[in-house]
Chains A and B, each alone.
Chain A
Amino acid sequence: MKGLFLALFLSLCSCFFTKKQSFYTNYNLKESFRYPILSEPPTLDWNKSTDRASALIIQNIMEGLTEYDFSEKEPQVKAALAKNWTNSKDNKVWTFFIKDNVFWTDGERLTAKHFLSSWERLLNPKTASEYAYFLFPIKKARKYNQGIIKDFKEVGVKIGKQGELIVELEKALFYFPYLLTHTSTFPIRTDVIEKKKALWTEAENIVTLGPYKLYKWEHDKALVLIKNDSYYGKAPSIKNIIFYIIPEETTIMNLYQSGRLDVATPLISRDLPFLTKRKDHYFHNILSLYYYGFNLKAPNLKNKKVRQAIIHAIDRKEIVQLLNRGNPISTSFLPQGLFAYNPKIGLNFDPEKARKLLKEIPPQSLPSKIQIFYNTTSDHKMIAENIQSQLKKNINLNIELNNQEWKTYLQRLKAKQVEIFRLGWLADYPDPDNFMNLMASFSENNHTGWKNERYDSLILKAMVMKNTNLRKKLYDQAQKILLEEEAVVFPIFTDVSHILISPRIKNYPLNVMSYILFKHIEVKQ
């Protein structure tokens, strides 16, 4: 009995001493913006992060030398941490002058040194960063990353006399400032990293300089950003940004419906016919291409005519209608909204021609059955199923579907154990080179096994050229080889992003790169 009383007494005491926990759903709504992310950001170390969830957060707590400007038709860059920049005539040496009124959250002033140490860290083989290749255009940077050069001083980056950052490139590259919008090139405080080791990205340790700062990071659950009072630019209008980590699209939708989120994205494609009628629905293109590729090493697909016939036999409109997302179809390998996009290039839907092409092939060498490989998600499944039925209907070609778990699929792709495969490409930076490069013989992402010297030389020539009509012509030629003459890949559509935005939110940035800076957003009073 004594024990019972003692225990009860202790418990009661504890009840008096404790308080309610604060929770995010109770934040002042007028000052908060609630946004869903599909997965826990793997890391907020911007030299190492690779995925979109991390990038979204880093873009808002940090800034780079440049940032995107979407006020023009095609994406441009403008200065952010850089005051301005100059380039030599041959586009090989770039000089960035850094703003002198920028301070980190711990009070230290930003200098070019922070860029230098960030880039050294990014390229250092010991860091093992996946995005080290963003700085490969810099002179000898690749060699440093490979470990051939041990001394970073040999790499083409140095600090000038007035504290400016001077970058020397391997090859002339007029779009170099585009690369500097990427999170991996943002300045970093190596002194903080040395002190806090792997824990430096936790909310209590991280040192940043963007419009927001990381206030709280409850792993797997939520992140909270709060307005950074020492930000050099115009203060953002919303005080708190709450990122909820929600792994299921359906759950995101459920929470949006019950008013727990201000934005619902990504939306489930089969819900779209219902959602597009709503007033809070918005959609826009993104620089991302969905395509099918042919493995030229597969005996069934060696014949050019088979490939051309397959492309001619597929009506992209049907696929797009089926998806019901409002995707613009694309016969071109460049997505809509990018420089040098040309809707006239590529093979069109023409079942007559497809049948004719097949007739030209001796019947014994016609493939009896071709396999389509894709990774298991419902949208890929839907598209593959539709292509299967279209090919059966239009050219009486038997297709076998072969879906695989994601990593198995990638391994098969690498080992070229596929016939027709699906892939997508989201632009790293808004330049056609980022796409055209994929199918070059030297690209790691060319899974078709296709090699063409003419194509390679065309895109290498175009790469170092300024945005002019001549450059566009070069890309047109290259695309003709890739898509029409050789029919190596089969672009289907440009991706779109659908989003529901709560009516209480103003100025939500919608752009082709899905580059979201929360500092522009406002809440209606």
Chain B
Amino acid sequence: MKTTKNFYEKLYQNKVCFYCGLFIILISLCALLAPLISPYSFDQQFPSKALEGSSLKHWLGTDHLGRDLLSRMIYGSRMSMAVGIFTALISTFLGVLYGLVSGWLGGFTDRILMRFIDIMFSIPTLVLLILVKVLFDSFIVIEHPELKALAGTLVALSLVSWASLARVVRAQVLQSKEKLFVEASRSLGASSFRIIFIHILPNILSPIIILITFQIPSNILFESMLSFLGLGLQAPFSSWGVLVDEAWRSLSTYPRLLLAPGLMLFLTMLSFNLFGDGLRDILDPQLKNQI
């Protein structure tokens, strides 16, 4: 209990980290409450008002289809954040599981498992991403429209990003395996399962949490990269990447379209990175050179 209180105190003291955390919460709220707060729906078209500048009715103006840009930004945050967070969770789950097994079993199994990760790294990320996404989209049918738009990207990103997590977790497990309390409980006859989940996992929790915070912005980045390449979300859903892509297409004629999504993408990534930095300083200052 004391440590948690200590944590919040430290968090509050670290101003940058605190405000970044606030900003993240704000964005997440925006994403969650998108249907309530956005003035229009993300796909409502006003063809007569296409490409208008900002006005009282449309704060950020409209796009080429006459859709309200602000609403598309708000709904875009929903998709971008969903990809960022869910992918981080899935890939963390996979990575932690893999890292735990590999680190705990050690020996030959560990070598084989780590070699597999090496091989995963040797395939260019973008190629792997596209392969997995195309395969997933063509073979798995999902009914729910919003989920359907996301699922391919989610799965592809998760499958690509778990490997680096697994490496770090394995290293952590190897370290704590040598520690005294593990030795002690092992000599007392505790089962592997018990040792892993009661002793080791809580011990390596803080690096995992920090890793998740760093995973999220990199996932958001990858999602927008995919969308920029035209391989991202299904229409008419928007994400910040989709909006940046649309803005890039009319760079020489309507450069202002780039402003809002570019800025939001930048600010969100910035606050996640700064927040992760702060979190690391608070939770586990020794991790600095590992992550």
Contacts and interface: CB of A to CB of B under 8 A. Distances in A.
B43 interface: yes
Nearest to B134: A405
Interface in B69-100: none
B248 interface: yes
B187 interface: no
Given A250-B251, A254-B252, A270 B64 contact: yes
B253 interface: yes
Interface stretch (B104-112, B168-176, B228-236): B228-236
B231 A385 contact: no
Contact of B250 (A270, A377, A405): A270
Contacts of A275: 253
Question: Which of B65, B246, B251, B253 lies at the interface centre, i.e. has the most chain A CB atoms within 10 A of its CB?
Answer: B253
B145 interface: yes
A146 interface: no
A90 interface: no
A404 interface: yes
B282 interface: no
Contacts of B50: 273, 324
Contact of A385 (B134, B145, B235): B235
A253 B255 CA distance: 13
Interface in A260-277: 268, 270-271, 273-275
B231 A384 contact: no
A205 to B, nearest CB: 33
Contact of B134 (A250, A321, A322, A408): A408
A268 B138 contact: no
A257 interface: yes
A28 to B, nearest CB: 27
Contacts of B51: 270, 273
Given A408-B134, A408-B137, A321 B230 contact: no
A378 B249 CA distance: 10
A385 B253 CA distance: 24
B145 A400 contact: yes
B45 interface: yes
A404 B137 contact: yes
Contacts of A416: none
A318 B65 CA distance: 11
Interface string A359-378: 00000000000000000111
Contacts of A268: 249-250
A271 B145 contact: no
Contacts of B252: 250, 253-254, 257, 271
B285 interface: no
Given A318-B47, A377-B230, A385 B236 contact: yes
B134 A401 contact: no
Contact of A271 (B137, B234, B235, B250): B250
Contacts of B246: 270, 378
Contact of B231 (A250, A271, A405): A405
Interface in B219-238: 230-231, 234-236
B226 to A, nearest CB: 11
A254 B249 CA distance: 10
A384 B235 contact: yes
A401 B236 contact: yes
A249 B236 contact: no
A270 B246 CA distance: 9
Interface in B250-266: 250-254
Contact of A404 (B45, B138, B236): B138
A389 interface: yes
B233 to A, nearest CB: 10
A274 B253 contact: yes
Contact of B65 (A322, A400, A411): A322
Contacts, number: 71
Contact of A381 (B138, B236, B250): B236
Nearest to B236: A385
A403 interface: yes
Contacts of B230: 376-378
A318 B249 CA distance: 22
A386 interface: yes
Interface in A380-414: 381-382, 384-386, 389, 400-405, 408, 411
A12 B250 CA distance: 47
Interface string A232-250: 0000000000000000011
A326 to B, nearest CB: 15
Contacts of B254: 271, 274
Given A384-B235, A385-B235, A401-B234, A321 B47 contact: yes
B137 A386 contact: no
Contacts of A270: 51, 64, 246, 249-250
Nearest to A408: B138
Contacts of B138: 404-405, 408, 411
Interface string B45-61: 10100110000000000
A384 B43 CA distance: 12
A276 to B, nearest CB: 12
Contacts of A403: 234-235
B232 to A, nearest CB: 9
Contacts of A401: 234-236
Nearest to B64: A270
A466 B230 CA distance: 46
Contacts of A324: 50
A388 B50 CA distance: 18
A388 B65 CA distance: 14
A376 B232 CA distance: 10
Given A254-B251, A273-B51, A274-B253, A382 B65 contact: yes
Nearest to A412: B138
B43 A385 contact: yes
A459 to B, nearest CB: 35
A405 B145 CA distance: 17
A381 B47 CA distance: 15
Contacts of B249: 249-250, 268, 270-271, 378
B252 to A, nearest CB: 5
Nearest to B51: A273
A250 B251 CA distance: 7
Given A257-B252, A322-B47, 15 more contacts: A249-B249, A270-B64, A273-B50, A318-B47, A376-B230, A377-B230, A378-B246, A378-B249, A382-B64, A385-B235, A401-B235, A404-B138, A408-B134, A408-B138, A411-B138
Interface of B: 43, 45, 47, 50-51, 64-65, 134, 137-138, 145, 230-231, 234-236, 246, 248-254
Would you list the 6 A-B pairs with minimal beta carbon distance, nearest first? Answer: A270-B64, A381-B235, A274-B253, A271-B253, A408-B138, A385-B236
30 contacts: A249-B249, A250-B248, A250-B250, A250-B251, A253-B252, A254-B251, A268-B250, A270-B249, A270-B250, A271-B250, A271-B252, A271-B254, A273-B50, A273-B51, A322-B47, A322-B65, A324-B50, A376-B235, A377-B230, A378-B230, A378-B246, A385-B236, A386-B45, A389-B45, A401-B234, A403-B234, A403-B235, A404-B138, A405-B137, A405-B138
